[in-house]
Amino acid sequence: MGYKEVYASWQDDPEAFWMQAAEAIDWVKPPSKALFEKGGGLYEWFSDGMVNTCWNAVDRHVEGGRAEQVAIIYDSPVTGQQQKITYAELQTRVAAFAGGLAARGIEKGDRVIIYMPMVPEALIAMLAVVRIGAIHSVVFGGFAANELAVRIDDAEPKAIIAASAGLEPNRIVPYKPLLDGAIEIARHKPAFTVILQRDEKPADLKPGYDHDWAELAGADPVGCLPVEGNHPAYILYTSGTTGQPKGVIRHTAGHLVALNWTMKNIYNVDPGEVFWAASDVGWVVGHSYICYGPLFHGNTTIVFEGKPVGTPDAGTFWRVISEHDVKSFFTAPTAFRAVKREDPTGEFIKKYDLSGLRAVFLAGERADPDTIMWAQTQLKVPVIDHWWQTETGYAIAANPLGIELLPVKLGSPSVPMPGYQVDILDEGGHPVAPGTLGAIAIKLPLPPGTLPTLWNAEERFKKSYLASFPGYYETGDAGIKDEDGYLYIMARTDDVINVAGHRLSTGAIEEVLASHPDVAECAVIGVSDALKGQLPLGFLCLNAGADRDSKEVVAECVKLVRDKIGPVAAFKAAVVVDRLPKTRSGKILRGTMVSIADGKAFKMPATIDDPAILDEIREALESLGYAGA
């Protein structure tokens, strides 16, 4: 069957389509049906089945003949280490660690925050948590203590599992002081922590509160606890329009069924083959395609601790692909832009045998045609853009390589996957003609594996996603659909920006800037950046009485954002202005600021933290009557 037939088979009978996909999962009790309608626009999948995530990711492969197959390859150019963990070893380590958690009181439904770098123990922690029916919430290591504290207060975890440190190419990031700081700030106090000591920077442990990972690793093993299909496997926080992140919930059964389906149909890998997503477990790509998808499907996954360039050079990706015989590779366009900048003619690519590689997948931000063309020419395999969100957990639109390779249209992540009816709507909620720009919305119900609601925030879920267009889920993206049904994702319709494939809220950065004592008013916009896609740029109006050097205030604001949100915000530049451009009703004209800044930014060599460019932006605003010092 080709794509059209598969998509039509889903449209004709979604219930049968998903029940058939569910047969690939090991159930303790199979579900009686797929879709459960809860009313009010809320849906769940496979709710009355009983199942365990960890069993399907690990134990069933050990029983099914893959015990000696490598499950996880750890490749860490920043530490010079490599490790291979078979499914049998993974089972032993996960079962023991889960036993250690259970012995310390972690039970079904308890939340456990995981704050770790890219080490295999991050996956072991995730799998151990779901093994005993607890719910994990992984927090990206590039977030600062305050962001971690916000998540602690929302998820109210009984425990936090962390590492003593993470390793960035230019520095060691001690996680333990950040963790201690977060627990200090948070209202909710977890009962205990577990710390993986890293040789590069071990941490001091508080006896009785901070447990060494090694203690739990030696615990008596426990088995997999079957949970209801609609039991949450995890919560993953993502940026919304305010400083309060959205806790996306992932239910157990739909997650299993959907991700397992994508491994062959989209990524075209068979069990036993090596699949690599170069992301981080702190992001949804890391959840779905470093940890769960490949393991559900019996693949070998790679945990890569490093950067595409500089660890040690722009050939790292190709070395890993060649050395471990990666068949399907997934990364963000920004990573390719970083490599392309260092190695435009692909000299490093020529050094490696990449004959095993079948395809490259890009997501997380708009894939610019230049980058796709470069990758296609250099790698000589299909380079497939696909579009998704933390909320959906896997691709809404893709080119389903395992079904058939559809013609690639540059600038388009191709066509909707089964489960998704994607419409482009006008402001009144009516579908627009092909080629017309509108809000991208997905007809309800969303398919299995997507978010059923937000943690602790059902009203926010309804307001953010369901209110604008009755009967639809609002994606927050704007775009067009062409005559052939190909989608083009053009921009966000909210205040979310995308920095190096990382989703950030300008509202959250504004909240931090506004807390500076000399800042009277501020705005943050995303401006185009040749490497990271977008970068945040601040506009600051200082208090009337503030007799301060504006450069000093900007420097303090940059530090404040780094300390409060974290280095991942990449907030490096701000312009001090007299007034913000506003409409008569007082609404900030962000569009005006974006177009002024983008006009300048396009000329830039690499980043906007160049004083000359900031001066130009200020002058441009001045000519409109808004800029000041």
247: nearest Cα among 84, 391, 34, 101:
391
230 binds ligand AMP (CB under 6 A): no
List the x/- string, 241-280, binding to ligand AMP by CB under 6 A. Answer: ----------------------------------------
List the one residue from 238, 260, 453, 505 that touches ligand AMP (CB under 6 A).
238
Residue 145 touches ligand COA, criterion: CB under 6 A: no
Asked whether 295 and 71 are in contact (CB, 8 A), the reply is yes
Q: Could you tell me if 113 and 155 are in contact, meaning their C-beta atoms sit under 8 angstroms apart? A: yes
Q: Which is nearer to ligand COA, 14 or 413 (CB)?
A: 413
Q: Which of 192, 190, 142, 194 is closest to 168 using CA atoms? A: 142
**Site residues (CB under 6 A) for ligand COA, limited to 64-93:** none
Pick one of ligand COA, ligand AMP, none as the site partner of residue 389 (Cβ within 5 to 8 A by kind): ligand AMP
What does R_g of the chain's alpha carbons equal in angstroms?
24
Mark 464-491 as b/e (b = at least 16 C-beta within 10 Å): bbbebbeebbbbbbbbbbeeeebbbbee
**Is 47 an interacting residue with respect to ligand AMP (CB under 6 A)?**
no
**What is 355-406 written as a DSSP string?**
TT--EEEE-SS---HHHHHHHHHHH-S-EEE-B--TTTSS-SEE--TTT--P
Q: Which stretch binds ligand AMP (CB under 6 A): 259-267, 294-302, 380-388, 564-572?
A: 380-388
Q: Does 474 bind ligand AMP (CB under 6 A)?
A: no
* Contact code string over 549-578 relative to ligand COA, x by CB under 6 A: ------------------xx-x--------
The dihedral sign for the CA sequence 54, 60, 63, 68: negative
User: Tokens 């004959």 appear where?
Assistant: 355
Decide: residue 436, CB within 10 A, 0-12 exposed, 13-18 middle, 19+ buried.
exposed
Q: Which of the choices ligand AMP, ligand COA, none does residue 477 contact, using the CB cut-off of 5 to 8 A by kind?
A: ligand AMP
d(CA 162, CA 141): 9
Which listed option, ligand AMP, ligand COA, none, makes contact with residue 238 (CB within 5 to 8 Å by class)? ligand AMP
Using the minimum distance from each CB to ligand COA, give the nearer residue, 425 or 500: 500
User: With CB under 6 A as the contact rule, which of the stretches 41-49, 160-168, 307-315, 357-365 interacts with ligand AMP?
Assistant: 357-365
Q: Does 364 engage in binding with ligand AMP (CB under 6 A)?
A: yes
Residue 1, both tokens: 């069957």
Distances 508 to 149, 245, 496, 565 between C-alpha atoms, Å: 14, 9, 10, 8
By CB under 6 A, is residue 364 in contact with ligand COA? yes
- Where does residue 485 fall: left (phi above 0), alpha (psi -120 to 50 degrees), or beta otherwise? left
Helices 145-155 and 550-564 cross at an angle (nearest 10°) of: 40
Nearest 5 degrees, angle CA 288-CA 129-CA 249? 50
284 near ligand AMP, judged by CB under 6 A = yes
Query: Does position 389 bind ligand AMP by CB under 6 A?
Result: yes
- Answer whether 155's CB lies under 8 Å from 129's CB: no
The minimum distance between CB 12 and ligand AMP, in angstroms, equals 28
1 vs 491 by CB, closer to ligand AMP: 491
- As a whole number of angstroms, the distance between CA 122 and CA 139 comes to 11
Query: Quick one: what does residue 476 bind among ligand AMP, ligand COA, none, with the CB cut-off 5 to 8 Å set by partner type?
Result: ligand AMP
Among 95, 155, 195, 363, binds ligand AMP (CB under 6 A): 363
- Give the 3-state secondary structure of residue 550: helix
368: contact with ligand AMP by CB under 6 A: no
Rule CB under 6 A: is residue 405 a binding residue for ligand COA? no
Stretch touching ligand COA by CB under 6 A, among 255-263, 330-338, 368-376, 456-464: 330-338
* 205 contacts ligand COA (rule: CB under 6 A): no
CB of 340 to ligand AMP, least distance (A): 18
Residue 335 interacts with, from ligand AMP, ligand COA, none (CB under 5-8 Å by kind): ligand COA
Among the residue ranges 33-41, 308-316, 322-330, 471-479, the one whose residues contact ligand AMP (CB under 6 A): 471-479
**Binder among 61, 250, 366, 516 for ligand AMP (CB under 6 A):** 366
Size of residue set near ligand COA by CB under 6 A: 23
**How far is C-alpha 588 from the chain's CA centre?**
29
Site for ligand AMP (CB under 6 A): which residue of 498, 505, 534, 550?
498
Report residue 551 CA to chain centroid gap.
34
Say how far apart CA 61 and CA 549 lie, in whole Å.
63
DSSP at 200:
T
Residue 432 or 490: the one with the smaller Cβ distance to ligand AMP is 490
CB of 472 to ligand COA, least distance (A): 26
Distance in angstroms (rounded) separating the CA atoms of residues 477 and 227: 34
Contacting range for ligand AMP; rule: CB under 6 A; set: 82-90, 269-277, 359-367, 517-525: 359-367
Subset of residues 302 to 321 that bind ligand COA, contact rule: CB under 6 A: 307-308
| Both structure tokens of 518 | 């000399």
17 within 8 A of 9, measured Cβ to Cβ: yes
Residue 385 or 529: the one with the smaller Cβ distance to ligand AMP is 385
Chain residues binding ligand COA by CB under 6 A are 117, 141-142, 166, 168, 173, 279-280, 283, 285, 307-308, 332, 334-335, 338, 364, 500-502, 567-568, 570
Chain residues binding ligand AMP by CB under 6 A are 238, 284, 363-367, 385-390, 413, 475-477, 489, 492, 498, 503
